[in-house]
A and B are shown apart, each in its own frame.
Chain A
Amino acid sequence: MYDAAPVYRLLARVRFRLNLILLTTKSLTFLTWVAATSGIILLIARWTGWVIITIQTWLTFVLIGGLTGLVTGWRQRLDEIATARWMDEKLKSEEVLSAALVCLGRECSGLFDQEILEVADGLSRKTPAFKWPVRKLFNRLGIAASVILLFSTALIFVTPYHYQNYQTAPLKNSKTPESTGGRSGRSGNRLVIESPRTLARMLFPEDARLAVLAERALREGDLSVFENLIKDAQLNLEQKLAETTNPGERNRLKKEAERRQQITQSLIAEARRQYEAATEEGEDTVASGTGEEAGRNRKGNGKRPAGNNKYGKDQGLQYGDQETEDGPDYSPDGAYKGGSLAGTGHNEERGRWGEVKARSGKEAPIISKNKDSAVFEYILPGKNASLPLSQVIPDSQRAAEAALKRDGVPYEYEDFVRYYFLLLSKETKGAAIKEAQK
């Protein structure tokens, strides 16, 4: 019996390589198409604010595209007959290998089968030098690499927070302290907002200044300030509404006004209820917004003087100094006069659940994360500093602002840096007043 092993071995070897080329090329083709299509959609989606897709999602799409290509290639993979056909064409062997497979398939029962197999055997024993069909593969590889590089560059360097829609979107899965234990979206029939910042941005999507003030007011539990802000914003909105002639814009503004009113009414009512309940029970905390913040922000660290410190006036805020008439809070040794509860608020109660805290002391300036309350605190340089703060801060503040402008500060810390310098400026003003009084 004729030994068909060399023919089969050659066919198996060539078949493996051809299928490898086929699978890779198919995979790259699909990958390229999916990467390009989803990349374009992603960029459009980000730009228009339709939906925010992360680069990880895009990469997942790309991966799925590649896998689809693999599956398609696998379904079109060559069998032995197709491989023999390909080899016959390449070797110009006048279909000898294909005929040999026919002979082997019928167990060499034909008159000329042995002769054909001998010719095929002679052909397979030589080392055929194929020109593998890799041109398309390299072509696709180049295109795929270009597409991925292009979109990766676009998606990595054009970060999402450059877009307006991202800036106004609620925070999701953020590692900032606000999101600790927070939830977003709907919980049953109740709208749960994960942080004061989210709420503030939701209410004032077009006015960053008001959003910052509202967030602070919420954090400090100053509902009257918050209400004033809303009224102010409402007035602005009405004024805009009166000035706008574009029907589409008018419609939008009306809807915005209705939305804001709807949110704020229920929000304020709920916050008041919780606040009053907490006050009656003698607790040291009140939820600032939706109640979701309660429990998270109610913790004090026990180190800070509560209430009537100099930050209580909150001079940086437009509406922040309406309730307190307390004077400066520094004792001669630089410590706070207040109690043992933490706070930056306007009075004793509100100050307990503020987020950003400051104190002067002898320690070196540090920025740390409080392990108990998961809020940031900072310690200002103490009396022994060689230079007064008023001389140091402007330079640092300018540097910080420059860093903020060029996105040199991680997004999660941007607001923190702003607050830090806001409070530092108050500190310097307080120090100046004290000097003047002296």
Chain B
Amino acid sequence: MKKALAKESPELLGKISENVESLRKVRDQISQVIVGQEGVIELTLIALLCEGHVLLEGVPGLGKTMLVKTLAETLDLKFSRIQFTPDLMPADVIGTSMVIQDQRDNFSLRFERGPIFANLVLGDEINRASPKTQSALLEAMQERAVTVRGERHELARPFLVLATQNPLEMEGTYPLPEAQIDRFFFKILVNHPSESELETIIERTVGINTPTVKPILGSDELKTMQLAVREVVVPQHVTNYAARLILATQPDQELAFPRIRQFVRYGAGPRGAQSLILAAKARALMLGRFNVCLEDVQKLVQPSLRHRVALNFDGQSEGVKVDDLLNEIINGLPTDKTRPEEIKG
């Protein structure tokens, strides 16, 4: 249970306002390094504020690793990277007990921490690791702690895993099971930059002077912001809208659209609703608002729910995209179900 922030504290409110401003600077600074991925940067920051893990999907060379590295530098957080391979073992991720011989020739076992003990962990090509290793990582993500030889080791806070997977090379991979993929807060698609963005990338990276970043926000400020996010007010009808959105993704629900019934095997669950509203709160705060609006929810439907909606065979064979289905829901679902027809418009 998270502790609530002390109320009636003008300093705290001032601090939060400063942090919001700092977050904007962080975003701008990262945008200097990662060109043309403003959406990805914003979503990553939202996930960071919500303490949610991110699954980045994109072909190699789009700056995923660079993004995480820059984020860690900007936020003054400890960063580690794990390259997942089929022979990677869980101990390689979480750490292992080593036999240590001291000067008096006494032997003892000491837990040697793995790369997961960092604030920002980049799991490159997570789908290449064996399910055993994947589950070790995902368990750590969920529990924010690891247990080795009966000893529990808390992970650093804030803790954020950014896993990447390549959608093209699926041979020899172990796709993440639905139960595990559901633990990711967001699934962000990293797309190719546009022509002008490519030009900027070339200009910035092949010269002598490459953009550098400096730390702007510390982990303490980040923790404060993470608590502040939960204080953001959500009007009742926005919560209701989010709930109906979630139900609309489930093919056996009344709210489900015809194409959802036709192409979806199962839809988002309560975890999807939680991440949707929490992310909306973070977005509102990042934009300097203290309440969530419908637009916040609508903007975050795709990253929050796209990995929680599974297509059935028909959907996969017909090449249906989950994002298109979610767009249909956003466009078709009324934002207010109780308003009489007479005063609409």
A: which residues have CB within 8 A of B?
18, 21-22, 25-26, 29, 73, 76, 78, 81-82, 84-86, 88-89, 94-96, 98-99, 101-103, 109-113, 115-116, 133, 135-137
Contacts and interface: CB of A to CB of B under 8 A. Distances in A.
B236 interface: yes
Given A111-B13, A111-B231, A95 B343 contact: no
Nearest to B335: A89
Given A21-B342, A115-B290, A136-B345, A98 B237 contact: yes
Contacts of B13: 111-112, 115
Most buried by A among B234, B336, B340: B340
A110 B290 CA distance: 10
Contact of A103 (B233, B336, B340): B233
A407 B7 CA distance: 86
Contact of B293 (A22, A86, A94, A113): A94
B238 interface: yes
Secondary structure class of chain B's binding surface, majority of residues: loop
Contacts of B234: 99, 102
A81 B236 contact: yes
Given A26-B342, A78-B343, A112-B13, 15 more contacts: A22-B343, A25-B343, A82-B336, A85-B235, A85-B339, A89-B336, A95-B237, A96-B291, A98-B235, A99-B234, A99-B290, A99-B291, A102-B233, A111-B12, A116-B291
A94 B343 CA distance: 20
> What 7 A-B pairs are tightest by C-beta distance, nearest first?
A99-B291, A112-B290, A98-B235, A94-B293, A111-B231, A25-B342, A95-B293
B339 A86 contact: yes
B295 interface: yes
A79 to B, nearest CB: 9
Contacts of B4: 111
A18 B340 CA distance: 11
Q: How large is the interface on B (under 10, 10 to 19, 20 to 34, 35 or more residues)?
A: 20 to 34
10 contacts: A21-B343, A82-B338, A85-B336, A85-B339, A102-B233, A111-B228, A113-B233, A115-B13, A133-B344, A133-B345
Contact of A110 (B12, B233, B343): B233
A76 B340 contact: yes
Contacts of A18: 343
Most buried by B among A88, A101, A109, A112: A112
A55 to B, nearest CB: 29
B342 A85 contact: no
Interface string B44-71: 0000000000000000000000000000
A73 B342 CA distance: 9
Given A102-B233, A111-B231, A22 B342 contact: yes
Interface in B83-134: none
Interface in B284-305: 289-295
Nearest to A84: B235
B232 interface: yes
A135 B344 CA distance: 10
A25 B338 CA distance: 17
Most buried by A among B4, B236, B291, B336: B291
